[in-house]
Structure 1
Amino acid sequence: RALMVGSEPQVVKLKNIQHLYTPVRATLKTSAHVLQFVERMHPTPALGGDPQAAAVASIAQIEPLARGWYGAPVGWLDGVGGGEFAVAIRSAVALGERVRLYAGAGIVGDSVPAKEWDETALKFKPLLGALGLTGTRHSVLGAQSAREVLSSEF
């Protein structure tokens, strides 16, 4: 078995935004299934906080909406226990004519709530574009209460 972690984060440039990416690759023991590894890695510290138990409990109390599939591991499995997974840092769930979009900000001690809010709005642009909602007015359920929560927590 082997574990390879990139020595430094790499910049991934997308159309609307840039991300830091650290590749992690592993060859698991023959008796292990890739989902065992995925389960141990979820949620990542970037999305679930650290220490994990306390952070996840705080998130559940603070955030006004459930996260849905935001931050979930997504990927593929083969027939012998291998696969490849990534973290869904954007997601959308549709039910009838309603669509709920998910994106977030990396909140740390030095975060400025207004800047984090603006960054999150930027992250929604590709999702809105895919739905044909660019340049139109659309409502974001819970947006005002979410902004108030962010502002009051810093």
Structure 2
Amino acid sequence: MSETQQINLSDLDLPSLQNVKNQLEEELNHLTQSYTKLKGVQGRFTDCADSVNSLKAEKPEDKQILVPLTSSLYVPGKLSNVDKVIVDIGTGYYVEKSVTDASKFYADKVDYVKKNLSKLEENITGKQNSLRAIVSVMQDKLQEQQGKN
């Protein structure tokens, strides 16, 4: 079992503080990138949920749509059966689901990502507070050194 050991920042010398600061900045950068990626995932799941819910709401049989062949090439098409949809459940697996089940699937995914975003946000805030504390101690030590000179 790992034990968390607390160190008084004022006991560290400037090079050690700089090392801790650099490590915290790297961690903060990584967490921020992860947060941005998760926000993108949340947006994609929300878009999927909205699309499925629009199928539930209006029963658009024979509705004209554009079917994407690539990211910039579309062909016209018609919806014929909107009772079932094919859902990408990840890692290249697809499952046929009813529109209601697909809607629930995406709503659950959005909730799951929201919870993880919340945890990540708390972690980022904690790291930012730690970084501010280290910078403050470093400034104090630099002023102390300049006062001695």
Q: What TM-score comes out, normalization by structure 2 length?
A: 0.23
Considering fraction of residues, name the structure with more helix: 2
Structure having the higher strand fraction is 1
Higher relative contact order (Cα pairs below 8 Å, separated by 6+ residues): 2
